[in-house]
Amino acid sequence: MSRIRSIHPGFFTDEDLVQVSGMARLLFIGLGVEADDKGAFEWKPLTIKMRIFPADNVSVDDLLSELEGIGAICAYEVGGRRYGAIRNFRKFQRPKSPNDIHPMPDEIRIYVGLEVVPSEPIPKHFPNASEIAPQMEDGGGKMEEEGEEETRDARGPSPADRKFEEFWLAYPHKVGKRDAMKAWRRARKRADFEIIMAGLRAYAGKTDDRPWCNPSTWLNQDRWGDQPAHHPAKPVPDDDWRNSPTWAGVDI
């Protein structure tokens, strides 16, 4: 059932959404209206078209692919049925009496901005003084947390981040590193590291004079599959001596 939703002003300048077509952005708004209060909807392109684009000649399949390509939505299956989820939906939509129509696994709940439902009941009472663990007394808990943070820092960057640094080092136009890392994480779900890097090597060796693409855009648009253009053959001037009738063997 369709619901009234609010639109955050940041929607119009979102760096990912501005890279898709205008119809895809309109579909994104429409999906928010059609989704349940968790941000889930049934992945039925024909039904979605009849609800959002009843009089427009558009391919909802293609528009869904555009939105999925930038990570704005994701598809998932439960019980053999396909659903879609809207990224961070519950961070911006807070219905007073939320409905719960479509099933949603834990990883998708995190994706839409919901907390994971605990598998075990949470105790309703607070521990008394005799039940407090020794490490929590006199600020012990805070000291332990700080120690854990130091341990995490000591481990250094994750393997995924190291792979990104390798990509960043090889990319010829280094702008927007934070956005590039976000795009990198999404791109790695669609392509292997070796494929992306092979495409980057071909791109970095381009000989045409087109300006360099921002790394986040390059990743979001799967540009590792591009075929770089080459310099066209230099045209021969009309008055070149090689074009004369004598050279062509006409007046000899």
Distance between CA 141 and CA 138 in Å, rounded?
8
pLDDT, mean of residues 66-87: 92
Residue 198 has a pLDDT of 87
**CATH at residue 107:** 1.10.10
Would 145 be classed as within a structural domain?
no
* pLDDT over 70 (residue 104): yes
CB 34 within 8 A of CB 41: yes
3-state class of 42 per DSSP? Answer: strand
Write out the residue range of the structural domain in which residue 190 sits: 159-225
Would 127 be classed as within a structural domain?
no
* pLDDT over 90 (residue 229): no
* pLDDT over 50 (residue 123): no
Would 247 be classed as within a structural domain?
no
Same domain, 191 and 107: no
Whole-angstrom CA distances from 79 to 103, 104, 105 are: 9, 11, 11
Higher per-residue confidence, 207 vs 15: 15
- How many distinct structural domains can be found in the chain? 2
Same domain, 100 and 17: yes
Same domain, 16 and 94: yes
Whole-angstrom CA distances from 146 to 134, 152, 153 are: 16, 10, 11
Would 89 be classed as within a structural domain?
yes
Domain boundary among 112, 145, 176: 112
Residue 158 token pair: 């994750």
Domain boundary among 95, 112, 129: 112
Higher per-residue confidence, 227 vs 220: 220
Give 125's pLDDT tier (boundaries 50, 70, 90).
Answer: very low
Q: How many CA atoms lie within 13 A of 129 on its CB side?
A: 1
pLDDT, mean of residues 145-153: 41
Would 218 be classed as within a structural domain?
yes
